């Protein structure tokens, strides 16, 4: 037979486990590594279709859609963009940027397409070096 303190501890542990399971199951899956290496040519095609309107053909943030934005799009040829890790770029593409025109692409692009775009952004950022 369990004592009152043992029952209390058991309830607390069960409740904590329930909360842990709920929190871990509700997290948004993040981009994971694809089965093949990112492809810059595929990334360029996705970039031209979805990103170039704001970021411009050379990635300077000077696309036709940039003029109407209160917050300018990222300039991938600036050193600041060059310093961002692939994970940071993927997170931005996947989830967007709060209070900016950069919306989330999760659900519109596949994980592979997002990784391919990052590979192409690297090409654009290296052109300035």
Report how far residue 128's alpha carbon sits from residue 123's, in angstroms, rounded to the nearest whole number: 9
Per the structure, the complete domain to which residue 53 belongs is given by 40-127
* 8 domain-assigned: no
Number of domains in the chain: 1
Spell out the residues 6+ positions from residue 57 whose beta carbon is closer than 8 angstroms to its own: 48, 63
Residues in the chain: 129
**How far is Cα 10 from Cα 18, in angstroms, rounded to an integer?**
12
3 domain-assigned: no
9 within domain boundaries: no
Q: Does residue 16 lie in a domain region?
A: no
CA atoms within 13 A on the CB side of 6: 3
Q: What is the mean pLDDT of the chain?
A: 82
What pLDDT is recorded for position 6? 54
In a domain, 90, yes or no: yes
Of 104, 85, 79, the C-alpha closest to 93 is 104
* pLDDT, position 33: 55
Q: Is residue 28 part of a domain?
A: no
- Specify the CATH number for the domain of residue 76: 1.10.760.10
Question: What is the tens place of the pLDDT at every residue in 28-83?
Answer: 444 555 567 999 999 999 999 999 999 999 999 999 999 999 999 999 999 998 89
């Amino acid at each position: 037979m369990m004592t009152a303190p043992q029952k209390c501890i058991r309830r607390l542990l069960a409740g904590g486990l329930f909360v842990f399971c709920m929190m871990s199951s509700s997290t948004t899956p993040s981009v994971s590594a694809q089965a093949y290496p990112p492809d810059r040519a595929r990334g360029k095609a996705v970039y031209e279709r979805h990103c170039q309107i704001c970021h411009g053909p050379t990635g300077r943030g000077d696309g036709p859609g940039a003029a109407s934005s209160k917050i300018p799009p990222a300039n991938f040829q600036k050193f600041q963009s060059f310093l961002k890790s692939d994970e940071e770029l993927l997170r931005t593409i996947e989830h967007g940027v709060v209070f900016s025109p950069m919306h989330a692409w999760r659900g519109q692009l596949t994980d592979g397409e997002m990784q391919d775009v990052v590979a192409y952004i690297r090409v654009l950022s290296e052109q300035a070096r």
